[in-house]
Amino acid sequence: MSTTHQKLKASIRKLEQINKIEGHVNQLKQRLTFEENALQLMEKTLAKEQRDVEILEKEGLTSMFRKFLGDREEKLEKEREEYLRASLRFNELYKSVELIHFELDLLEKKQQVKEATAHKIKELMQKREKELIALDAQGALALKSIHDQADKLSTYSVEVEEAYKAGEEALEYVSKAERFLLTARKLGQSQRWGGRYPGDSRTKFGAIDSARKMAYQSRHALIRFGNELKDVYADYELQFNMTLEDFGNFANVFFDSLITDYFIQQKITKSLINITDTRKNVEVILNTLNTERSAIADKETSLAVEREKIILSD
């Protein structure tokens, strides 16, 4: 393969990546608009829930005489739980918007070199055409067929590699979320059957919070993985469920009991089912992509051998 052809292939791959980036940018902008609007609405909801809690907490003796203390505490407990749910959803949306902005900044920088790359491809195409014309007719046709196959294979290889890389990133986040929840479940089981020790509850909920953070990252990584997979398998739709059950830190403060621990363990188990299924699904797809990578490498070797035979033949 001539130096001109090598430069041409590299420039074509670069332009294809830039064109794919434009599609990702448009999709990210749509998601950003949707999630920013959702964030604004959730911010209002969060403020309302906070006010509801503060009002109940400030109720004086007059209010207490008008109703049973138990009713007031029950309502206060409910308001705190609603505030916690709103807070968790707000934090999730805030993190999601932050990640989209970060990704957009990176992608938009790569778009800036598109025009220069397209111009370079045009010049290299003209130079490469002259090279082929200079060869003998039979050899030129044979080599052109091989180069055409190699070019298509190279383009496909880039798409497979990008999908594989995105899948590895998604798998890393999903696996971390799974490990944090396994830690939380183990601590919860120790609390129920092995007694309570200072700091166990704090460590358990810390593991749950860490799992939630990884779930945020996983969601974005899995969306990117699904987009990359469509470039390899046009009809494939990646299905995943990274939903974590609604854990309440308030439960640790107000309802620290065996019954509550039992329900928290149920939520952890349900979340683990979702995340473990997702992890296994991603692993299966990565194995398939890895097989595809091997097939591409074998085909590239075969084409290289065929090209060498043509060049060396009398």
What would the mean pLDDT of 227-250 be, rounded to a whole number?
69
Q: How long is the chain?
A: 314
Q: Please, what are the domains in the chain?
A: 1-138 (1.10.287), 150-314 (1.20.1330)
Q: Which residues contact 55 (CB under 8 A, 6 or more apart)?
A: none
Task: State residue 164's pLDDT score.
Answer: 94
Q: Is the pLDDT of residue 172 over 90?
A: yes
Cα four-point dihedral sign 301, 303, 306, 311:
negative
What SS3 state is found at 60?
coil
Q: From the centroid of its chain, how far is CA 211?
A: 14
Largest interatomic CA distance in the chain: 107
Give the CA distances from residue 94 to residues 35, 49, 55, in Å, rounded to whole numbers and listed in that order. Answer: 8, 18, 26
The H or E element containing residue 47 is helix 3-57
Task: State residue 61's pLDDT score.
Answer: 46
279 neighbors 171 (Cβ within 8 angstroms): yes
pTM metric for this prediction: 0.60
Give the CA distances from residue 28 to residues 94, 96, 143, 227, in Å, rounded to whole numbers and listed in that order. Answer: 15, 11, 42, 11
Token pair recorded at residue 74: 């029950």
Task: State residue 147's pLDDT score.
Answer: 82
157 neighbors 296 (Cβ within 8 angstroms): yes
Token pair recorded at residue 207: 């593991």
Q: Tell me how far apart the alpha carbons of residues 297 and 160 are, in angstroms, rounded to a whole number.
A: 12
- Of 42-56, 164-178, 224-238, the range with the lowest mean pLDDT is 42-56
Q: Is the pLDDT of residue 200 over 80?
A: no
Q: Which residues contact 140 (CB under 8 A, 6 or more apart)?
A: 132, 133
Q: In 3D, which of 298, 151, 275, 169 has the Cα closest to residue 228?
A: 169
- Rounded to 5°, the CA angle 100-104-109 comes to 160
Q: Is the pLDDT of residue 220 over 80?
A: yes
Q: In 3D, which of 215, 214, 221 has the Cα closest to residue 170?
A: 221
Q: Tell me how far apart the alpha carbons of residues 89 and 82 are, in angstroms, rounded to a whole number.
A: 11
Phi, psi of 44 (to 5 degrees): -65, -40
Q: Tell me how far apart the alpha carbons of residues 225 and 35 are, in angstroms, rounded to a whole number.
A: 20
Q: Is the pLDDT of residue 70 over 70?
A: no
Q: Where do the H-state alpha helices sit in 112-199?
A: 114-134, 137-194
Residue matched to tokens 């990565």: 286
Q: Tell me how far apart the alpha carbons of residues 117 and 123 are, in angstroms, rounded to a whole number.
A: 10
182 pLDDT band (50/70/90 cuts)?
A: confident
- Of 117-121, 151-155, 194-198, 263-267, the range with the lowest mean pLDDT is 194-198
**Residue type for 140, please?**
A
